[in-house]
Each structure stands twice: as structure tokens, then as C-alpha cells.
Amino acid sequence: MMPDLGKYAEAVLSSYAVSILLIAVLIAVSVRRSNRIKNELQEVEKKVKSNG
């Protein structure tokens, strides 16, 4: 059910769209950063184990 937004429909719906897009971008950036850092930590652990 969508309420009748009248003349503000375009502004409200575009605000929702922009908000959803920004949240999706933040999630994607966070996941990429997490994966990158996890890989870097694994490399450091390998170096430490190999050096004794």
C-alpha cells in the first residue's frame, strides 16, 4: 500500500531511491574493505610464521 503523496511524490520517491542507493554503496565499500584487510592480515600471518 502506497499512500497518496500528491505533489510531493517525486521528491519523496527520489529521496528514498537516493537513500537506498547510498546504503547499498556503503555496504559494498565495507565488504570490499573487509575482504582487503582480511587478505592483508593473512599475508602478515604467513610472513610471521615463515620467519619464525
- In this structure, what C-alpha cell is assigned to residue 5? 503523496
User: Under DSSP, is residue 52 helix (H, G, I), strand (E, B) or coil?
Assistant: coil
E strand or H helix that includes residue 25: helix 9-51
Q: How confident is the model at residue 2 (pLDDT cuts 50, 70, 90)?
A: confident
Does the pLDDT value for residue 17 go beyond 90?
Answer: yes
Asked if residue 19 lies in contact with residue 12, where contact means CB atoms within 8 angstroms, the answer is no
Q: Is the pLDDT of residue 1 over 80?
A: no
